[in-house]
Chain A
Amino acid sequence: MIPGPFQFHRPQSVADAVKLLSTLGDEARPLAGGHSLVPMMKLRLATPEHLIDLHGIGSLKGIRREGDTLVIGAMTTQHELVASPEIAALVPIVKETSLQIADPQVRYRGTLGGNVANGDPGNDMPGLMMALGARYRLEGPDGARDVDAVDFYQGAYFTALEPGELLTEIAIPVPPSGHGYAYEKLKRKIGDYATAAAAVVLTLSAGKVATCRIGLTNLSETPLLAEDAAACVIGTTLDEATLAKAADLARAVMQPAADGRGPAEYRTHVGGIMVMRALKRAAAKAV
């Protein structure tokens, strides 16, 4: 439980961080909250020679509204998401989900950027960002580019980030007022990753589902957008038969691993249950 030797850097700007990352190459890792990287280093499963600590970069913090978009700096902590009045008013599901990440101590340190950029399928935010249609700003030696959350994840710990690139911002389109939302997470205990979790954002029109997006956490190598499941509820009142159908369509895209949380069959089954519960609760909140 003792990490190997490494060099510690604390750049003061994104440009400096990107420069360090691109010149030091594969042996450099950016350090945000450290809740994934540091334990891996202590187990020597990760042995970066250089740690680029991002805590010195003020511009990576904060939440601001730009028109219909909420822009969140990558180094904004989960605690700051929980405490933010803008988040609570405009995208309350981000608050609800943040509160299901680990425990208060972790949330004081853990960041939104670290959570979405690490590519860990167990992280709660990526599936939610897919459901919200979020975009990530990636800055690299050749400038900045935006990638949709749904296109970002390629495999466990594999993402669209190119060498030298840093995820700097998360842009969330503000959902329409009156939207319904729910993040249903089944976990073994506080602090655990999801056995299965589903994020639902929907709108109703005349009592029927008008729009719906469903994100899934820890049910495959990457977070998932359950598109068929979401499509099948449009125009319905979410009757029991529709819910069951949505659960089955969502299950069809799940490929969870067997682990201490249960065999794949169980995790797929409860994944469907989480989808049904999230749909029901989201609809109940929508106006």
Chain B
Amino acid sequence: MNDMTITRAEREAKLEGMGCKRKRVEDIRFTQGKGNYVDDVKLPGMLHGDFVRSPHPHARIKSIDKEKALKVPGVLAVLTAEDLKGVNLAWMPTLAGDVQMVLADGKVLFQNQEVAFVVATDRYAADDGINAVEVEYEALPVLVDPFHAMDADAPVLREDLEGKTEGAHGPRKHHNHIFEWTVGDRDLTDAAFRKAEVTIKEMISYHRTHPSPLETCQCLCSFDKVKGELTIYGTFQAPHVIRTVVALIAKIPEHKIHVIAPDIGGGFGNKVGAYPGYICAAVASIVTGRPVKWVEDRIENLCATSFARDYHMTTEIAATKEGKVTGLRVHVLADHGAFDACADPSKWPAGFFNIVTGSYDFPTAHLAVDGVYTNKAPGGVAYRCSFRVTEAAYCIERAMDILAQKLGMDPAELRLKNFIRQEQFPYHSALGWEYDSGDYHTAMKKMMDTVDYAGLRREQAEKRAAFRRGETREIMGLGISFFTEIVGAGPSKNCDILGIAMFDSCEIRLHPTGAGIARMGTKSQGQGHETTWAQIIATEIGIPADDIMVEEGNTDTAPYGLGTYGSRSTPVAGAAIAMAARKVKAKAQMIAAYRLEVHEDDLEWDIDGFRVKGLPEKFLGMKDICWIAYNAPPPGMEPGLEAVSYYDPPNMTYPFGAYLCVMDIDVDTGVYKVRRFYALDDCGTRINPMIIEGQVHGGLTEAFAIAMGQEIRYDENGNVVTGSFMDFFLPTAVETPHWETDFTVTPSPHHPIGAKGVGESPNVGGVPAFSNAVNDAFSFLGSTHIQMPHDFWRNWQAAKALGAV
């Protein structure tokens, strides 16, 4: 019996369940430097591998001479594509249905491509060995501009695909064409445009950038020849998928592959796919019989492992004179680089870009995406977003501002006029999604009231007048973004990776003394799962979060799951956790009923145990139930208290938010200042408000970086010119604006706890807010659209082009 002197509020607080601003338990080790990352793992006899990389963006390899390298003290092996052919691993499948060279086979297709893998006793010797490998190249014409990829005379990049008119996603129109993906009703959309009173058309580019996690991609492979087992420690956002892929391509039985993702220092999509380093380290370990570690440096990370975005979106909206949208037409030219290594669910070559109708009630829409090859690094990962949702949100949010400008209407008013209304949910979009829930008008109005939107517009009008009078050189912009995300991949009916359905899982095992362990198929890279997962369990089964150990990342012990990316953890694994907890609770209820000598239906749940309805003194707490479950279960019942749940979600979840950015720009230098940034997020049920705020702060900071300068840029010869943090913009605390966060709560109707996922919303919604602010600032000078990124010199160029300088 519990102590009745403890109040209900105290019992509730002790759980630190959902809604509690529980401090992150993992931070105890991270803030003391006691995390355990891949590079911290050291095995006896461990070797180090490193890559010879191509200085050329496109070249034929005439010869590779390893002799001098093999004479460097400490160098044990140099692998090339020829060596990998012996084990059929010179090429590997990508998640997007393409194939990718592991090591350059005959030619190189992008600068910094992996050409040879040097294995040595330490990193110094490996690097000395790299410098001693002699590669002779014959330069080939370089294709950098995706808009020229399908020119008749464009160089042939992928000779392996010569003559193949069918790709993984249908017909190929050109030797550099990967796929065309279309969604929506073309005829109906064309008709809407024919009838439209007002139309806009703009080519809106979302430049190439990179997730650049603090910890780069790395692995440590150890092959045990005696047991025939391969152990891989790696920076994997999806450890189980890696295990299955290795089993499929290396032909090692899956039970003899052990994949362990220890602590991960940020992923942001960069650590979803498989990279040549993983394959080479594994092969090198098999060849040498010793563990082989591969650790990418920063330049390699930025230049060779997966980039993000590079979408060029020609966007058209049809509308009435009053500003009611009647149609949307988008054509995307997608630059995928040398190989299509997008990390999307397999059937979705452009991810969920068909969320591009956004938060608006478009009666019809049509979308076509053309993917092309260029001499750039492969990738196309979801950098802190659900697959291509950031591109879609940027596209529609920018386009709505352009439409507002054409109509002479305030962009907030235009949005309010076209929002999907609360009573329309669940809402079926013109491009095929079923939005689960939303209350857009409430969120938008809360944002406008909080920031005094009307007052800001008045201030802007005054500043514009002062600028015209020559009294100030500063212009002011207001950037609105009202985004709808689609997260939680996903329902097996439409989501799989290489045929693996995108469910997720949880296993909960309670110990006799009322503590327990929970394992999931997800893998935190900084999201704080060890904290929040325990909070869900605490609320569901009344065991304090502190008494639940959360463990992820070891494929031998964790239940199979598809990992963490695309804000899928809470929508999918979060649901599995609740369902597993409910199975535990159901058994606990049977035990309580037996002990309290009543029927199960006569019990009611009360924070941390069961109480007999109408007899408040008859109570059995979960801690006691745990002991009974093991040591005195009811007759006929198996001992123990544990459960596993695999959750295949019925639908995605659709978080949304209303953001506003207030920016001032000095036209003489192009220097901007974010004066205010307000972010209202609705992610449904909030599990840990502090972690949500942290996620929003981090995502906004990345959005700020991307919109205002972060890019992977190539010169016209195909050289990467942003290959280090000197030129790749990663803001520090000094550059980062102050963030104001707010929320509304519209639970997901189909999720067991009503949660939707939030990690990526701020990146998805943030980028258009910043870009719209810049564009809004310049609009009164006559501009319609200025491409990102909006760094100082580009702002100055815009001002100059508009006659302001």
Residue numbers of A with Cβ under 8 A of B are: 1-2, 4-5, 44, 103, 186, 188-192, 195, 259-263, 266-267, 269-270, 273
Contact present for A261 and B793 (CB under 8 Å): yes
Residue numbers of B with Cβ under 8 A of A are: 123-124, 126-128, 131, 297-299, 668-671, 709, 713, 721-722, 726-727, 729, 731-732, 734-735, 791-793, 796-797, 805
Contact present for A189 and B797 (CB under 8 Å): no
Q: Which of A4, A44, A260, A269 contacts B727 (CB 8 A)?
A: A260
Q: Which of B128, B671, B722, B805 contacts A260 (CB 8 A)?
A: B722
Task: Name the residue among A1, A192, A261, A263 with the largest chain B CB count within 10 angstroms.
Answer: A1
A158 CB, nearest partner CB in chain B, Å:
22
Q: Which of B127, B727, B796 contacts A266 (CB 8 A)?
A: B796
Contact present for A4 and B669 (CB under 8 Å): no
New A-B pairs, 4, CB < 8 Å, besides A190-B732, A273-B669? A188-B792, A260-B726, A266-B670, A266-B797
Contact present for B731 and A186 (CB under 8 Å): no
Contact present for A4 and B131 (CB under 8 Å): yes
Assuming A189-B729, A189-B735, A266-B793, is B669 touching A2 (CB within 8 A)?
A: no
> Across the two chains, which residue of chain B brings its CB closest to A272?
B668
A44 contact set on B, CB distance < 8 A: 127, 131
A190 vs B733: C-alpha distance when bound (angstroms): 9
A195 CB, nearest partner CB in chain B, Å:
7
Contact present for B735 and A270 (CB under 8 Å): no
Q: Which of B669, B721, B735 contacts A190 (CB 8 A)?
A: B735
15 residue pairs from A and B, CB less than 8 Å apart? A103-B732, A186-B669, A188-B791, A189-B732, A189-B735, A191-B732, A192-B726, A195-B793, A259-B727, A260-B726, A260-B727, A262-B791, A263-B793, A270-B792, A273-B669
A191 vs B297: C-alpha distance when bound (angstroms): 20
B298 contact set on A, CB distance < 8 A: 1
B520 CB, nearest partner CB in chain A, Å:
35
A129 CB, nearest partner CB in chain B, Å:
24
A186 contact set on B, CB distance < 8 A: 669, 671, 792
A70 vs B726: C-alpha distance when bound (angstroms): 34
A270 vs B791: C-alpha distance when bound (angstroms): 14
B296 CB, nearest partner CB in chain A, Å:
10
> Across the two chains, which residue of chain A brings its CB closest to B669?
A270
A190 vs B131: C-alpha distance when bound (angstroms): 33
6 tightest Cβ-Cβ pairs between the two chains A and B = A262-B793, A2-B127, A260-B727, A1-B297, A266-B793, A190-B734
B721 contact set on A, CB distance < 8 A: 260
Q: Which of B668, B792, B805 contacts A262 (CB 8 A)?
A: B792
Contact present for B124 and A2 (CB under 8 Å): yes
Q: Which of B123, B668, B722, B805 contacts A2 (CB 8 A)?
A: B123
A2 vs B298: C-alpha distance when bound (angstroms): 12
Contact present for B796 and A5 (CB under 8 Å): no
> Across the two chains, which residue of chain B brings its CB closest to A262?
B793
A4 CB, nearest partner CB in chain B, Å:
7
Q: Which of B131, B297, B729 contacts A188 (CB 8 A)?
A: B729
> Across the two chains, which residue of chain A brings its CB closest to B473?
A273
> Across the two chains, which residue of chain A brings its CB closest to B299?
A1
> Across the two chains, which residue of chain B brings its CB closest to A270?
B669
A186 vs B732: C-alpha distance when bound (angstroms): 16
A263 vs B721: C-alpha distance when bound (angstroms): 14
A5 vs B127: C-alpha distance when bound (angstroms): 11
Contact present for A195 and B128 (CB under 8 Å): no
B729 contact set on A, CB distance < 8 A: 188-189
Assuming A1-B299, A266-B797, is B722 touching A189 (CB within 8 A)?
A: no
> Across the two chains, which residue of chain B brings its CB closest to A44?
B131
> Across the two chains, which residue of chain B brings its CB closest to A186?
B669
> Across the two chains, which residue of chain A brings its CB closest to B705?
A189
Contact present for A189 and B297 (CB under 8 Å): no
> Across the two chains, which residue of chain A brings its CB closest to B736?
A189
A190 contact set on B, CB distance < 8 A: 732, 734-735
A260 contact set on B, CB distance < 8 A: 713, 721-722, 726-727
Contact present for B128 and A5 (CB under 8 Å): yes
A284 vs B123: C-alpha distance when bound (angstroms): 55
B473 CB, nearest partner CB in chain A, Å:
10
> Across the two chains, which residue of chain B brings its CB closest to A258?
B793
A270 vs B666: C-alpha distance when bound (angstroms): 11
A139 CB, nearest partner CB in chain B, Å:
33
A192 vs B721: C-alpha distance when bound (angstroms): 16
B734 contact set on A, CB distance < 8 A: 189-190
> Across the two chains, which residue of chain B brings its CB closest to A263?
B793
B731 contact set on A, CB distance < 8 A: 189
> Across the two chains, which residue of chain A brings its CB closest to B126?
A2
A261 contact set on B, CB distance < 8 A: 793
A19 CB, nearest partner CB in chain B, Å:
29
Assuming A190-B732, A191-B732, A260-B721, is B796 touching A270 (CB within 8 A)?
A: yes
> Across the two chains, which residue of chain B brings its CB closest to A261?
B793
B131 contact set on A, CB distance < 8 A: 4, 44
> Across the two chains, which residue of chain B brings its CB closest to A191?
B732
Contact present for B796 and A269 (CB under 8 Å): yes
> Across the two chains, which residue of chain A brings its CB closest to B721?
A260
A269 vs B796: C-alpha distance when bound (angstroms): 10
> Across the two chains, which residue of chain B brings its CB closest to A267?
B793
A267 contact set on B, CB distance < 8 A: 793
Contact present for B726 and A4 (CB under 8 Å): no
Task: Name the residue among B297, B669, B727 with the largest chain A CB count within 10 angstroms.
Answer: B669
Task: Name the residue among A103, A260, A267 with the largest chain B CB count within 10 angstroms.
Answer: A260
A37 CB, nearest partner CB in chain B, Å:
16
> Across the two chains, which residue of chain B brings its CB closest to A196?
B669
A2 contact set on B, CB distance < 8 A: 123-124, 126-127
B299 contact set on A, CB distance < 8 A: 1
> Across the two chains, which residue of chain A brings its CB closest to B735?
A189
B126 contact set on A, CB distance < 8 A: 2
> Across the two chains, which residue of chain B brings its CB closest to A43?
B299
B793 contact set on A, CB distance < 8 A: 195, 261-263, 266-267
> Across the two chains, which residue of chain A brings its CB closest to B722?
A260
A1 contact set on B, CB distance < 8 A: 297-299
A188 contact set on B, CB distance < 8 A: 709, 729, 791-792
Q: Which of A4, A103, A263, A269 contacts B128 (CB 8 A)?
A: A4
A12 CB, nearest partner CB in chain B, Å:
28
Contact present for B668 and A273 (CB under 8 Å): yes
B792 contact set on A, CB distance < 8 A: 186, 188, 195, 262, 270
B805 contact set on A, CB distance < 8 A: 269
B726 contact set on A, CB distance < 8 A: 192, 260
A261 CB, nearest partner CB in chain B, Å:
7
A17 CB, nearest partner CB in chain B, Å:
27
A250 CB, nearest partner CB in chain B, Å:
15
A237 vs B793: C-alpha distance when bound (angstroms): 31
